[in-house]
Each structure stands twice: as C-alpha cells, then as structure tokens.
Structure 1
C-alpha cells in the first residue's frame, strides 16, 4: 500500500488499512467535541464512546497525519522527570502515583492492541543507553532506585559488554533495559484506534479545521462549514495547536524531529546490530533513537530544529547520527526520510488542565506521547464521567508558561537547545 494522502514516510508507505471519514458539512450537537485526531483525541473518543457518550472528533487533515503517525514508535515506563524530582516538587505520594500511571499507560497500549486486534507490529523490549562514560553512574543509580525504592523488577542494568552484545557496537557505555517496554508502527496503531472508536459510535470528521471556539455552559467550535455545540470540549492538538487556544499554547513549544528508514537490511547485518529486535534511545539531550521495522529496515531518529520549516535534506541531516554509531550502514540506501512536530513543556512533563469545568487540555508529552497520550484519552474519559483524580495528578506539578509566551518563547528555547546540543558533542 502507498501513502493514501499522508505525507511521505515509511509508515505512510506501509499502512495496512484505508480509513476515510467525511468533513463536517453542517451544524451538529454532541456530548463531547474533540479537536485533534492523534492518540489523545482517538483514545478519548474510543473510551467515551464505550461509556455511551455521543462524541464528535474533528481533525484538520487526516487521522494520524501529525506526530502520532510519524514518531519513533517507542513506549516505555517512566517520565522525563525522575521520581525523585517529582517527589521534591510535590510529595512522595504524588510521585508514587505518577510512576504507577506511567506503568499503566504502557499496559493500556498493549491492552488496546489486544482488545481491538490492532495490527501494528508490536514488539517488546526498550534499551536506554549511556552515550558518554559520565552517564554510567546515572544509569546504574536509576536502575537501582527503580528496583529497590520503587520495587519495580522489570528494569535491568547492562554493562558495556552486554550492551555491545545486544547492539553490535562499542559506542555505548551502559544500558537500562526495560523488558516490558515496547515499540510499534505508530500510524497503524493510530488508525486502529480510529477504527475502534468509529465502531463504538464516535463520529469522526477529517479535513475539518477548527477556526475558533467559545467556552461557557455549552462550548461550541466553529469550522468552515458548520458549528459543533457540546457539553464538553477537549483540545487534543499538541504540537499542532497553533494559536487556537492561547492559554494552552503558552505552556508548550512545538519542535521538529526527524527520522530516516534504510532499505531492508541483510539478515547477517540485523543479527549483528540488533538480534533481540529492541527499541533503543541514548542519553543525549537531543536523543538518538532507533529500532528495526517489521521488514528489517533501520528506523533512525535524530536531530531537531525549532523552525517552521524542515531541513531541505532530512536524510543527510539524520544519517550522520546513524553513521556515527553504525558506519557499516554507509552503503545502505535511505529509502524514506520525514519529520514531525511534537510539543515540549518547560518541565518536560505532560500538561493536563481543566481550563473550565467542561474544557479540557492534554498536551506537551515531550517525546513520550505514544503511551502517555493514549493514556490521557482514558483519563479524560474518567474525568468527564466524574472521576478526575488520575487526570488531576498531572496538574500537581506546576507547568510554567514559556517566557515571553508564544511570541518570544522561540529565541530563548533555541539558545537553550543549542547549548545542550553543544554539550552532547563534547566528551
């Protein structure tokens, strides 16, 4: 199968089903209106429909056409902020509950795949590796903390020799192996969620950009050809929010990340560089992440930019990172290269909020979106049904606005990112 209207990528080229939804053409009323057809919106639509709510989901382009259909496909327990840091900013009880929610988020992805028979090449095993020798102790301590303090025994420390045996390179110094983490085909997972939500009664509309909204007792959203009135409104736009919701936009910074896919690799190469078929991410601030596709291509993500445009030659932009680890792939043809826009927060934790009693926002997954965004949809369904405890846990960690708001956040962020990028390059 080919792109089916998606921007070109390996994922778009290997979609395993064709879904087509109409655009909104008239005024409608519903219980819940969801803006955004990525993991957050699709999961919310599915879980709310299962509870009997009338749901309308509006997507400006195609379902899964944003970062939900273009990302690295990795799911893993934990957050970008450590348990210790969360406990210091809040308390141990909140930190413990958020740790458990991270485990639950991964379990939910697996459950949904099984329950709805979503064919998305799911595989188990995630390995976080030390890119520098100075990161070894940090990884050792992180594994020990999770094993002993958190009582989680499904994470294991690997020394340099063990990492080399799993990845066929001496480039990395240690590893943190998550045996219950996993990886998948992100676009096929998104399409599987959409099909499940549709089958449960959610009304999905594509090519329906929301132009404006009004809050109040019965929120409404305006599109080019119709208005939707609802009892509840969910903003699930993440890096594609733009200026639609200014209050939420101040909490996030959209950034671009890039991926390449090689031609299928020979079995002897695969058996050398990743015999256990793991997903891998390194410890750099601007991380490299990689894994093998179902048809044995190297999928490598690396490099970011903070502009509105992608690099002219994404393949060259990313390939240099891959070759610094696996120079033997120099002769492997790059068949696909693409980018996507994600949203980060200042504290790198997701931003969940009730802007009003009936207006919800979930965004800013900062690279952990496959599991956490899917889980956010479930938590929003719980909150709308009257049990907001788990949703509100994420609000326990204050999320500051970017300095200067949406107008001036860019120069400051770029300066900071360039500083940390320079640190990545120093030994």
Structure 2
C-alpha cells in the first residue's frame, strides 16, 4: 500500500522524533473506532481512554497529516462566528451553553501539555490587530461580549500600545488575549498521540477508512483490515472525502497558505514581535503570523475555495508579509505549504450523530485549534451518556451549500470576493 508522507513544511522538518506506526492488518475489536488522528480524533481518544473506554484510531496518512499539523499554530478562543451571532440564531439558553464552552479549548490544550509533558513550544498571548477604526469598535464589543461569559484575560490596546507588541504601522489598535497563544501544531498532535498510546489506545497509520458498515455493531473497513466497534467517531474533517456522503454535502474543503522565513536571528525577531505573541488581523480574509522557537516568522493567509493547491504559494503570501513587515524584503523563504480546513455555510461547527452509534464533528471553518480539543471532550461526554453540551452543538442548523457540491466553490468564492472588497475599502 502507498505510504503517504507529511507534506514538506516547516513543521514536518522540525517535528519531534516518533516511532513509525503500523498499518492495520486483519480484524480488530474495540469499544470506539476513531477515524482520523488529527486534534478532534486525538482529543476524543484521550478523553475516552481517561474514562475507561478501549479505543482504536485509524489514520489515512500520519498523525497530524491534515490541518492539525499544518495550521498557523495559533490558539484563538471562541468560534468562527462569535457568541452574539450564535445567540441571534439559536436563542439565549443554547447560546449560554456554547458561550461557556467558547474558552474551554485553550484550557484543554494547556492541561494536555502539562499533564502529558508535551514538547510543543507553547507560548501565551495572542493579539487581534485592528486595521480600521470600525474593526477597533468590533474589538471593543467583542471584549464586552467575552467578559459577559467570564473571560477576563483581555486588554484593549491603542495605537501606541499595539506598537509595543507588534512593530507594524498598519494597525490603529487591537486586543490582547493572554489565554490565547501559539504552539508547534504538529508536535502538539504527536504529543497527544503518544499520550493516547500511553493509556493503552492503538493508532494505525496509513490505514484509510474506505467503508463504514452501519448497524448495531458497526464495522470500519480499511484496505487491509477492519475494526468492529460499539461506537464510531468520524473526525476526518477536510480530509474525509465521501466516506460519509451526508456530511460531504454540508461542507467544503478550503486551502490556506503558509510560508516560513529563514531564521531571522534574535535581534530582528525581537524587533518584529518583542513579546513573542502571535497576531491575526481583523479582516474577513485575515492574515496571521508568529515567531517559531528558532526565530523564524510563520506567516499565513489567503483562502483557496475548493482546496486546490495554488502553483506558487510564496507569490500569494510574501506580498502580504512585506506589507506588514517591509524590513523583511531581503529575507529568504525556506518553506511554503498549503493545508485544508473545512468550511460550513454558517461558519459554525457541525456536530451530530448518525443512527445510534456514529458520532461526528467537522467544519471548524478556520477556528480549529481550540474548538477541536473541546469537540473531543464533548463527543466523549455524549458516548458516556452526558449529552447536554453535545446537544447544544448538535442543535445548531446544518445548511447544505446552495447548488450542492457542484456550485459550492464558486458560491463561496463570490462571497469571499465581496468580503475582500469590504476589507479593502474599510467597510
């Protein structure tokens, strides 16, 4: 069978050493079969193992191969649509539950890193940077909103203050969230996988799920084996393909591009980001960046709808980087890659159950690092019969894309063009 390696990224090049994991061969029985060894699958597996379940994880390529090992590495709280939008759509009771959970993912990541001694360069502090006065007004509202749900580690920054943490003259102000932060995302996934195995869980790599036999005792088939389980958790997200057709119709893979500079040296790195916080701007099509532990700048942005790989990633992202930091014009780019995330029409995650025993979570819509860790806990709770928090997510409406899979890409691209224009003209 073909061996799928990691894409060539800075993260793969600087990943902690781990033993190779075998492909599944033959038949296995387990309590829970988790499909996908990204954050959603690994978080689910860990919570289940900590509660006494027998867990088997199937991964089509390698642990963290998808968005979990390719993202910008930023710990950003809440969801891709904030709690006020959710409140207008579902009412105060459900919104209250979802609001209380909006900051839990970041706490779960820190608990995992501490409990299992995961080496992933965890740093505290994330900045939302406002380019216009209108965006600054949104941040002021966001601070009030988040504080309503008990989240207090926030500081509004005026133009002078933001220049102390980001040496960039594009911003009129911003908000600092000290419970945000950044990590080496692939090393976080690898550390969580090691934790899963330390608790007796089994992870099979190069073992794509090719078919699910539904029924009272569902069976997941791979090319060379099968797993019989009491429950299945589907956690493939943007890399699920058409394994579960009813999920594919309501989501769309999108590509985002990331570049990494050569090492900048202590002086230049500290000049760009003196406190080593990560940053994202407040545009709809946002840019995001941070320093690595070896003082490179990771810079990401741009969305390719339908998840095609653009021919020249550096040509798309480098101009954005130079707009923020013109002092990097002579700096070499060492790595450039793309990774897919899963977009939903509402930009809210889709969580639910198919039949009695197939559970799923997908569609983080670009807010996955924290949400996926929460999702694992919520899915594990549901399997243990505690469904209140699961139901709060499951009751969010799941809309199919207009025109189905054929038209979803041009439809979303048109929406992005419109919002891009709004960003450009400061609306």
Normalising by structure 1, we get a TM-score of 0.96
Separation in 2 of the partners of 1:404 and 1:145? 35
Correspondence for 2:64:
64
Matched, 1:75 2:75: yes
**Aligned-pair CA distance for 1:93:** 2.5
1:15, 1:188 within 8 Å by CA — same for their partners in 2? yes
Contact kept? 2:364, 2:372, Cα under 8 Å: yes
2:259–2:333 CA contact under 8 A, matched in 1: yes
CA-to-partner distance for each residue in 1:173-217, whole Å, 9 max, x for gaps?
A: 121110111110000000001000011111111111111112221
Pairs within 5 Å for 1:11-160: 11-147=11-147, 149-160=148-159
Q: What residue ranges of structure 1 are gaps of 5+ in the alignment?
A: none
**C-alpha displacement of 1:133:** 3.0
- Residues 43 and 377 in structure 1, CA contact (< 8 A), matched pair in contact too: yes
State the 1:42 CA deviation. 1.0
Structure 2: give runs of 5+ residues left out of the alignment: none
**Compared CA separation, residues 145 and 221, structure 1 to 2 (3 A):** closer
1:151 deviates by: 4.2
Distance 1:48 1:377 in 2: 9
Deviating runs (4+, > 6 A) in structure 1? none
1:337 counterpart SS class: strand
TM-score by length of 2: 0.96
Alignment of 1:233-244 (within 5 A): 233-244=232-243
Residues 76, 369 of structure 2: 8 Å contact kept = no
Partner of 1:350: 349
SS in 1 for 2:207: coil
When the two chains are superposed, the root-mean-square deviation of aligned CA atoms in Å is: 1.5
Q: Is the 8 A contact 1:130 1:173 kept in 2?
A: yes
Deviation by residue 1:153-174 (Cα, 9 ceiling, x = unmatched): 2111111221122111210112
Rounded Cα–Cα distance in structure 2 between residues aligned with 1:77 and 1:307:
26
Please give the alpha-carbon distance, in whole angstroms, between the structure 1 residues aligned to 2:296 and 2:49: 37
Q: Is the 8 A contact 1:32 1:231 kept in 2?
A: yes
Rounded Cα–Cα distance in structure 2 between residues aligned with 1:19 and 1:35:
20
Q: Distance in 2 between matches of 1:162 and 1:60?
A: 46
Could you tell me how far apart the structure 1 residues matched to 2:98 and 2:35 are?
A: 26
Q: Is the 8 A contact 2:79 2:371 kept in 1?
A: no
* Aligned residue runs from structure 1 range 221-300, under 5 A: 221-300=220-299
> Where does 1:359-370 land on structure 2 (aligned, <5 Å)?
359-370=358-369
Distance in 1 (alpha carbons) for counterparts of 2:181 and 2:362: 22
Secondary structure at the aligned position of 2:103 is classed as: helix
Q: Distance in 2 between matches of 1:367 and 1:19?
A: 30
Query: Within 2, Cα distance between the matches of 1:403 and 1:296?
Result: 44
